[in-house]
Amino acid sequence: MKTSKENKKTKPTMFTFFSTSFLVLVLILAVLLAGTRLVGLTPYAVISGSMEPEYPVGSLIYVDQVEPSEISIGDPITFVMNESLMVATHRVVDIKEDGSFITKGDANNTVDGTPVHPKNLLGKPQFSIPYLGYVSVFLASGQGRIVLLGVLGILVLSLLLPEGKSRVVKKEVAD
């Protein structure tokens, strides 16, 4: 006599795998782009080649706020360059008696034209991640925000929608 025994085994769907992987990727990006602020690091995107090869264009540098007295000749520093609040990272080549810094980009032939006042010092880079600056700049743009909202919407929907009907495997079992 043959009886039917239902063996309910659900296999993870490809959608579940990809949505979970994508969610993990988004969370990692969120930590790298914004979460580091919780530990006192501020990320800045590198948009010029003045500090190559140390900080290539497209890198994201993580800057720790430090006191001007902690800066030495040879240290890279991140600072506000001008009244338009342009931020730069260059290496200190000299420190003047008034405490201002003479800086130069590693890839530049000459020192910067204006000394950096200690009040304009934002901090000292601690590390950088290549290419992540491109992502940061894109997400800060109008198009990037639209893409970000779309991605977040898809993630929320993928979490709210049911996974679909699981397959029920029927096996004929002989007695």
As annotated, the active-site residues are 48
Query: Could you tell me which of 40, 89, 39 has the C-alpha nearest to residue 60?
Result: 89
Which residue, among 121, 119, 134, 136, has the nearest Cα to 36 in the 3D structure? 136
List residues bridging with 94 in a β-sheet. Answer: 102
Cα distance between residue 26 and residue 47, in whole Å: 23
Element (H, E) at 144: helix 142-160
Tokens in use for 145? 């925000």
Q: Is 52 helix (H, G, I), strand (E, B) or coil?
A: coil
Quick check: 126 and 78 in contact, CB under 8 A?
A: no
Long-range contacts formed by 152-158: CB under 8 A, 24+ apart: 155/19, 155/22, 155/23, 155/26, 158/15, 158/19, 158/23
Q: How far apart are CA 139 and CA 97, in angstroms?
A: 42
In the numeric block, the tokens 């925000």 are attached to 145
